[in-house]
Structure 1
Amino acid sequence: MAGTYSRRSFLKQMGTLGATIALGGALSSCGSSGGSANTPSTGGSATPIASSPPSGGSASGTVNFFARGDEAIFKVFHRLRDEFQKREPNIQVQIEEVPGDFYQKFQLKLASGTPPDCLFECDCTITSSIRAGALEPLDSFIANDARFDKSDYLPIAWYTSEYEGKTYGLPYDGGSMAMFYNKDLFKQAGIPPLSPEEPITWDQLLEYGRKLTLDRNGKHPGEAGFDPRRIKQYAFDPQASWVPWLWVWGNGGEVITKDGKVPLDEPAAAEGLQFVADLGTKHYISPSPQFQQQGQISFLFEWDVAPFPKGKVRVSTGWYSPLSMTAAARNKEAAWKWISFCCSEEGQRIVAELGQSVPPLKKLANSQVFLNPKVPPEHKQVFLDQLDQSILRTPGDKMGKYFGGYVVEFRDIFNPAWDAVLRGDKQAADAMKEVRPKLENLLKTGKVS
């Protein structure tokens, strides 16, 4: 991507949208990694190897780096490599570019005994990799590197990388959820620009959504003759297929409780899920699997960001995906040099200047490197405000483990039931009642039933 808060990432969602929920900081590839519940086979070469801190000598040799993403993301890694090798001329970084389902390809690498030395992991797959013994704990490396003090980073930056008291990745890419919106279309519909500080309500979302959505005859939802099968312009893309949790918390519900319960079928949670599904199947202001189509694409417009809409409770969410070292890395010292450079202040300054994500380092996140209002969007402070600990939620935060430690498996169980709700085939309360026992069994036993 040209940047997670870029025009390209905004447009990529669904065509001409009056407003869209999209990631501000976290890469789109984090939400569509294609990971499955099949954890990596460690094979003979992926057996965990004890960590050893970097020595005082200079590292050298080749580092094989497994990079997921698209061309724009790969371009950032190539820029980082160019700068890194000026500083470490004795280390050659070989970047293997992996578009599409990176996790399946990573599993194949592990099974064949040819794992990379390090990789751009995903918040959605890292716990599966850890449990399989595929990743190297980095705590001793961090402790012996003066560049890394966890308190220098945003509190959420390390959350997905820490498991059972150990750290398996360095924060590289991520951020918070925010509402991207097309200011030109808002103006045409007579809607004032959104506040960068105060979120709109769910009722306002529906009100604005009806004004912004148009069928190919220029009709709005609710007007006589409106045709939901022939939409020219949707108002809102809630990214509901893979980030539905905000609507649960926003309605006062819970995803995972402290004791491992998954009360998604209880009224507050189910009603929140039903609300976001109804945006497509009932109110017709957002894309829905029920109507397989896309609006027209407009590439020239002014845009900005605003806080996530507020329901009964104001909430936000966010995450960071790390760079990790494999347990079977053949050149751990050189691999550490590479991933630590990318995640250090020096490397993250490059990443931030290229517009890839919200810097995980507080110093950079609160500097003009990131907040420069001359570089769209104007109100990037929104992304930082959405990371406020008083409103920030992540699935499993009450347990102290991201998704209870089973991200891929949780989604594999949840998604088919949720898809039925998004299609309008089932009500959220019924679908979640069916899936709840399976999710709770997963968190209790670690097994998919």
Structure 2
Amino acid sequence: MRKSRLTAGVVAGLVVASTAACSSGGGGGSSEGLTFMFRGGEDEKAAYQEAIDRFTEETGVEVEVIVTDADQYATKLQAAIAGNNVPDVFYIEQANLQSYVTSGILMDITDQVAEQGVDLDNLWEYGVDSYRYDGTLQGTPDGRLYGLPKDVGPFAMGYNKTMLEEAGIPLPDPDQPLTWDEWLEILKALTKDTDGDGEVDQWGTGLNVQWNLQSFVWSNGGDWTNEDRTQVTVDTPEFAEALQFFTDLTTEHKVTPNPEQAQTLDTYQRFMAGEIGFFPVGPWDMSVYNELDFEYDLMPWPVGKTGETAAWIGSLGIGVSTTTDMPEEAVKLVTYLSADPTAQETLVNANIQVPNLIDVAEEWAQAPDAEPANRQEFLDIIQDYGRPMPAAMTYGAAWYDELWTNIQPVVDGQKPAAEYLAEVQPRMQQLLDESNAQAEQAAAANAGANG
């Protein structure tokens, strides 16, 4: 998955600019219409333009669309904030919410959403709560609302159904997860030289440690922090065991492409080429994967010693700038894109997301022509066992990113997982402490400015 993120340091550097914007009243819109800034690929751009055109037809409110590729979004939004030209409505990432709130960039839309009669009970609780903030913790049901979910993004384990059937391997149970050992045996059976040239050209899996380690850690009883997000907990036996199993898939069991093979063609491309058996799938992949030359489906992530599957779930939000000249219309656009049934139908039909509306999602998952067939797995993650990414609810991600900075020797089998985690935990803890201190300082500064 390709993501971009404004770090806490970047956002903190924009506090002065955003405060000036608030005092000047200079929003990105005008008396003639709104500006809406988002990111996405061609499928998403087309779907959103269609939905926004319908919004304009229904409300008479013109919307200027500012769309970027994913890797340009953070930079362009940063420039807009620093230049006192914040869009009226824009995408917000979970990890930036606290910074935007305490910096005075995001408008509190709690009352306006209630006045518009939006049925929040029919939106995924995880998605709504991701944009709640009570001044101390994000994601609490009692927090004020600073956005609505553009989507929720459950990250499921996918598999090449055609490959397994041709190998005579029973298809995974959609409800009963495989253990690590059971899964490993299947991976070994799938890893082979299919053309007899002496080189492996089909592998069991091919995972990225930064985006795929989470499920292994959580299902093994480990985690990144304690419950109140004040203590880094990566230096535990459960975490080390999960990271070691993950790296052994490549270094010991050789059921994934090695670094040289992955460099020639990355594992995302190899999965689409039919060379990899198991690979993660998000809703954003469906528009591409549904056109592949083989059939794929979804399953629960394999489980460690807890016996309980785990997966991460992301979300993008849509928020309103405090500097908008059209706050009522801006909130209407947010609620339309997030919760209007017709708008949701447009976005869902583009195969880029799970429906935000629960009743619509349940029908969508059970559709007889569903692709993939087990769409229910996405809903199970959202409802039952999905967790936010470790840095999604903290003030910035520097502490979390530190884990990945020097992890390559572990991935390459040159350093034991437990040794590395013991080394990196103090550095992560220091960064988390600094992050929490910055959050307190920013909240105090914002309270003083508004007092």
Structure 1 length normalisation: TM-score?
0.79
Corresponding residue to 1:205 among 183, 188, 194: 183
The 1:205/1:376 distance shift into structure 2, 3 A limit, reads same
- Secondary structure of the residue aligned to 1:214 is coil
- Matched to 1:349, the amino acid is E
- Which residue of structure 2 lines up, in the alignment, with residue 306 of structure 1? 299
- CA shift, 1:247, in A, is 1.2
- CA shift, 1:64, in A, is 1.1
- CA shift, 1:110, in A, is 0.8
- CA shift, 1:155, in A, is 2.3
1:387 matches 2:363: no
1:353 matches 2:349: yes
1:332 matches 2:327: yes
1:363 matches 2:332: no
8 Å contact 2:131–2:147 — kept in the other structure? yes
- Where does the alignment leave 5 or more consecutive residues of structure 2 unmatched? 24-29, 135-142, 275-291, 439-451
- Which residue of structure 2 lines up, in the alignment, with residue 297 of structure 1? 273
Q: Deviations over 1:349-400 (max 9, x none)?
A: 3222322212232211112x443130311111111122343x343356xxxx
- Matched to 2:353, the amino acid is S
Tell me the distance in 2 between the aligned counterparts of 1:447 and 1:417. 23
- CA shift, 1:218, in A, is 4.5
1:411 matches 2:373: no
8 Å contact 1:180–1:304 — kept in the other structure? yes
Corresponding residue to 1:139 among 89, 106, 110: 110
The 1:448/1:49 distance shift into structure 2, 3 A limit, reads closer
- Secondary structure of the residue aligned to 2:93 is coil
- CA shift, 1:266, in A, is 1.0
- Secondary structure of the residue aligned to 2:155 is strand
- CA shift, 1:171, in A, is 1.2
8 Å contact 2:8–2:96 — kept in the other structure? no
Tell me the distance in 2 between the aligned counterparts of 1:349 and 1:424. 47
- Secondary structure of the residue aligned to 1:372 is coil
- Where does the alignment leave 5 or more consecutive residues of structure 1 unmatched? 1-27, 51-58, 220-224, 397-401
- CA shift, 1:146, in A, is 0.4
Tell me the distance in 2 between the aligned counterparts of 1:290 and 1:309. 26
Tell me the distance in 1 between the aligned counterparts of 2:22 and 2:120. 24
- CA shift, 1:267, in A, is 0.7
- Secondary structure of the residue aligned to 1:63 is strand
8 Å contact 1:182–1:304 — kept in the other structure? yes
- CA shift, 1:320, in A, is 2.2
Tell me the distance in 2 between the aligned counterparts of 1:262 and 1:152. 35
The 1:107/1:187 distance shift into structure 2, 3 A limit, reads same
Q: Deviations over 1:10-57 (max 9, x none)?
A: xxxxxxxxxxxxxxxxxx44xx2154443331444555859xxxxxxx
1:4-15 equivalences under 5 Å are: none
- CA shift, 1:248, in A, is 1.1
Count residues in correspondence.
394
Corresponding residue to 2:217 among 248, 273, 277: 248
8 Å contact 2:31–2:325 — kept in the other structure? no
8 Å contact 2:88–2:330 — kept in the other structure? yes
- CA shift, 1:325, in A, is 1.4
- Secondary structure of the residue aligned to 1:366 is helix
Tell me the distance in 2 between the aligned counterparts of 1:266 and 1:217. 43
Tell me the distance in 2 between the aligned counterparts of 1:345 and 1:277. 44
1:183 matches 2:161: yes
- Matched to 2:416, the amino acid is Q
Corresponding residue to 2:67 among 74, 97, 106: 97
- Which residue of structure 2 lines up, in the alignment, with residue 436 of structure 1? 425
- Which residue of structure 2 lines up, in the alignment, with residue 273 of structure 1? 243
- Which residue of structure 2 lines up, in the alignment, with residue 257 of structure 1? 226
- Matched to 1:394, the amino acid is P
1:174 matches 2:152: yes
- CA shift, 1:87, in A, is 0.5
- CA shift, 1:170, in A, is 0.4
- CA shift, 1:407, in A, is 4.5
- Secondary structure of the residue aligned to 2:9 is coil
8 Å contact 1:325–1:336 — kept in the other structure? yes
Corresponding residue to 1:117 among 74, 88, 106: 88
